Structure 1
Amino acid sequence: MKIGYARVSTLIQNLDLQNDALLQAGCEKIYTDKISGTVSERPALTKVKEILRRGDTLLIWRLDRLGRSLKDLIDWMYYFEQEGIALKSLQENIDTSTATGKLIFHIFASMAEFEKNLIKERTMAGLSAARARGREGGRPKKMNNEKRNLAVRLYKEKQHSIDAICQMMGISKPTLYSYVKER
């Protein structure tokens, strides 16, 4: 059986291109996720793993739809090999049911990891250069230092619930916890 998997990283992105290509490639079922590729637990992909059987083929539009890290992709390949499942990537024209396809998969996976690391290095270099010029990254703080200290003090005094503190200060729980962690 040919089973398709499509993924986009955000809710505003569209799956139509991937779905059309997977249908044209003969997929009997297609499962989709709208979640970042860096998240290893994806509901539709978990369902696909439950459904796939020996002799089946998983079709994806591109390798980066399955996973972003080399380790993640290699883990999937190992799983597919153990279970007798083939992987076909339509854009890279990879078919792991052949020896050449397995080799190409590993080369492409390495290149994808390399590209991700280059982007990370460039981003870090840019942030470093900005800091050297006195610029700080990140969003501006929602509250000034005095209000942040008050929120932390209320938290530590344990006289108000977390929800009450957040409501009084007009902040979310994660914001409160980040202020507590800073101090």
Structure 2
Amino acid sequence: MLIGYARVSTQDQNLDLQIDALTKAGCTKLFDDKISGSSRERLGLTKALDMLREGDTLVVWKLDRLGRSVKNLVDLVSDLHKQGVQFKSLTDAIDTGTPSGRFFFHVMASLAEMERELTVERTRAGLEVARKLGRTGGRKRKMTDSKIESAKKLLANGVPPCDVAHNLGVSVPTLYRWIPASGTA
């Protein structure tokens, strides 16, 4: 059975072109979404994937209708292959039911893996350079050195910790993380 999936990114866009092409390709069941491809909650795609059985083919009008990244596409097609389901993209002329279609996806998988490795490598190099320049990652500390000194003085003068935390714009647990409960350290 050929099961079609169509997607547009916004409610204002029209699915007619995709649905017409999928119908002409012989899809007996059609599912669609009007939502960004980066969204994890694509109900139409979920329904299409749930309906697929061994020997079926998932058909899309174009690759980018199915996924936003090469990794996402390769992972999805690999999962389909494990279930005995083929994949077909009409405008990209890809059909994993053919040797050349399977080859294309193996090449895509290799490229996706290389892309991931290069990204990790570039990230590590960038972090190393930042460390050498004295920068650390993460968000800025809420408790600056001057806030810590102010908090110590206020606590030593008997101001309740909840008032000190409120005045400094931090939570009580953050205050205690930087200053022991005795308030004198």
Is the 8 Å Cα contact of residues 4 and 27 (structure 2) preserved in structure 1?
A: yes
Name the residue aligned to 2:86: 86
The alpha carbon displacement at 1:97 in A equals 1.0
Q: Is contact 1:40–1:67 with CA below 8 Å preserved after alignment?
A: no
Other structure's SS at 1:27 match: coil
Is 1:40 the counterpart of 2:24 in the alignment? no
Q: Return the alpha-carbon distance in structure 1 between the equivalents of residues 84 and 11 of structure 2.
A: 33
Shift of 1:25: 0.2
Aligned partner of 1:26: which letter? G
Aligned-residue offset at 1:74: 1.2
- Which of the pair has more CA radius of gyration? 2
**Structure 1 residue 33 displacement after superposition:** 0.2
Cα distance in 1 for residues equivalent to 2:35 and 2:71: 19
Determine if the alignment matches structure 1 residue 56 to structure 2 residue 63: no
Aligned pair count reads 114
How far apart, in 2, do the equivalents of 1:71 and 1:100 lie? 19
Shift of 1:95: 0.4
| CA gap 1:107/1:16 in 2 versus in 1, 3 angstroms | farther
2: distance between equivalents of 1:21 and 1:38? 23
- Structure 2 match to 1:15: 15
* Structure 2 unmatched ranges of 5 or more: 116-165, 167-185
| Distance in structure 1 (CA, Å) of the matches to 2:35 and 2:7 | 7
TM-score with structure 2 length normalisation? 0.57
Counterpart residue number, 2:147: none
Identity across aligned pairs (percent)? 54
- Which stretches in structure 1 are left out of the alignment for 5+ residues? 115-155, 157-183
1:77 Cα offset (Å): 1.2
Q: Which amino acid aligns with 2:20?
A: D
Partner in structure 2 of residue 67 of structure 1: 67
Letter of the 2:18 partner, please give it.
Answer: Q
Letter in 2 for 1:63: L
